[in-house]
Structure 1
């Protein structure tokens, strides 16, 4: 079969022949309909992600919309290495049928970045009620924009979006966020975040950047009176894998620090919430910006690192 194949660590995928997957016990063969190129896919393919197997050659891709033998459109993922979802066919265990009217490209593009914030938002709602104020660090990326929409869909009253780029921040403001521009100067960024908080700590922080941006947020939060509990969820580490957490912040208020990602989420609950999120996309309650490319144009799609999320489709 044809697939996008990464031959060595750090190489871009090529449109090549790859062995057919085998339908072992509990698996079925499905055909590719649409699979998006997410940042995690690039990271895993490079061999640098904590979940990378180091096994090459491999077919990248973590999730997809596929068609079963009886013609049903399903969302699926978790393919056993070295196979992935950027292939004409894949062997899968879990499948979630799509509702009528679902756009396969939008679903493929939206589930991975959208669920990265949906799960911590839902978890917070279950444990502490719907947050009144949510702050999103790294709001101008695809995942950040969906996080704004997710918070609004859940009834969050106030969303503060922290990020870079005047035009991108204007776009995020149009989604319903109050925006804060940061520059990379930790003290100045802390002051800007603190001004936006205006003396009240957020109930939930969703951080896609970590590193210096997180340290600025910690500094700003430490200067806000301890008038409420804050849950801080580390989702991504675009800036750095490391961030220093001040002890005074941990001691001065109820402050919960956790991560959200592969290995830290109950996958049974995750898969149940995927169904909820697919319906949100289908109903137009969250909008996903995507661009489709035939699988044979993997090189062009892989190079598209800015703009709409690239989605590989059969062909």
Structure 2
């Protein structure tokens, strides 16, 4: 069979022949891989930049959707060991999560990982949110921001407000109850719709965050801010007075702020929940073409990408 391996951290992945996996042990299941997602952490591991991938050869991938050919059942796989960019894999039964038959393997493999960012932010990086809490998502038109709307609703939000620059795109985000269009300059934006917010999920981390917090400086309820992404590629300066002017908690959310054990526990609920959502279609690429496509800028511009053996 074949897999995608990195044999030198500077050369990128190669499509190589490898031995077929042996018969699975009692604690394993053998899956035919249907689609494996190209997430940012997968690219980071493939370059040797991520702490979890330092041994060569390195088989790409941390997750996939696969089928147990002996039963016909679909599973989502999450693993930091062994890799998933291969035709077949043996995987511990504790690392697989059953999927309903109607799930599109490519879309699910592409979307589950970005959905983790908001799900884990709310479940692991907030505390004591009120019933039917109000969530604000900065960067709601991004792929992860769109999924964050569904995460917030699934985890108890009664109202979700999106923030982004494009009004037409914001109006198209599924599940939003309201939205705020950022003005240019951002300081001229009216953030009054967000005055009842309980939690802010931020995928942008720019000036919008500072001006939003400034507009909340006289609210009575506690506000929890969780920084998840940095789409603005800009580090804002938070005036010290904002940290003292109201009951504000600031946290970040990412793999370093929560444990893998916490993630695997949440996946038991997350996987069937995400399977019920309307997911963004993925762009599928043949695994045999990985050497030519891995660094293709046109492919990166297509959004969510999966490799298909």
TM-score (norm 2): 0.80
User: What is the CA-CA distance between 1:178 and the residue it aligns to?
Assistant: 3.2
Cα displacement (A) at 1:154: 4.3
**1:91 and 1:189, CA in 2 relative to 1: closer, same or farther beyond 3 A?**
farther
Shift of 1:165: 4.3
Report the Cα distance in structure 2 between the residues aligned to 1:250 and 1:21, rounded to whole angstroms: 55
2:225 alignment partner in structure 1: 232
Residue 189 of structure 1 corresponds to: 186
1:245/1:67 CA distance change after superposition, 3 Å:
same
RMSD across aligned positions (CA) = 3.3
Which consecutive residues of structure 2, in runs of 5 or more, have no partner in the other structure? none
Question: Counterpart in 2 of 1:169?
Answer: 170
Quote the residue 1:313 is aligned against.
308
CA distance, structure 2, for counterparts of residue 178 and residue 273 of structure 1: 28
Matches of 2:161 and 2:273, distance apart in 1:
22
> 1:32-69 CA distances to partner (integer Å, 9 max, x unpaired)?
122111233223323444x4534444222121112347
How high is the TM-score relative to the length of structure 1? Answer: 0.79
Q: Name the SS of the counterpart of 1:273 in structure 2.
A: helix
Deviation at 1:143, TM superposition (A): 0.8
Aligned counterparts of 1:55 and 1:238: Cα–Cα separation in 2: 30
Relative to structure 2, which stretch is displaced further, 225-234 or 261-270? 261-270
What SS is found at the alignment partner of 2:172? helix
SS across alignment from 1:79: coil
**Where does 1:16-55 land on structure 2 (aligned, <5 Å)?**
16-18=16-18, 29-49=30-50, 51-55=51-55
Q: Secondary structure at the match of 1:127?
A: coil
Say which SS state the counterpart of residue 35 (structure 2) adopts: strand
How many residue pairs match? The answer is 301
Aligned to 1:295: 287
Residue 257 of structure 2 aligns to a residue whose secondary structure is coil
Indicate how the Cα distance of structure 1 residues 79 and 157 shifts in structure 2: closer, same or farther if over 3 A, else same. Answer: closer
Give matches, 1:180-259, under 5 Å.
180-182=180-182, 188-192=185-189, 195-198=190-193, 200=195, 202-210=197-205, 213=206, 215-224=207-216, 225-240=218-233, 242-259=235-252
Residue in 1 that maps onto 2:268: 275
Following superposition, the deviation at residue 254 of structure 1 comes to 1.7
Query: Gapped runs of 5+ residues in structure 1?
Result: none
Judged with a 3 Å threshold, the aligned counterparts in structure 2 of structure 1 residues 241 and 45 are, in CA distance, closer, same or farther, namely farther
Equivalent position of 1:147 in the other structure: 148
Q: CA deviation at 1:243?
A: 4.6
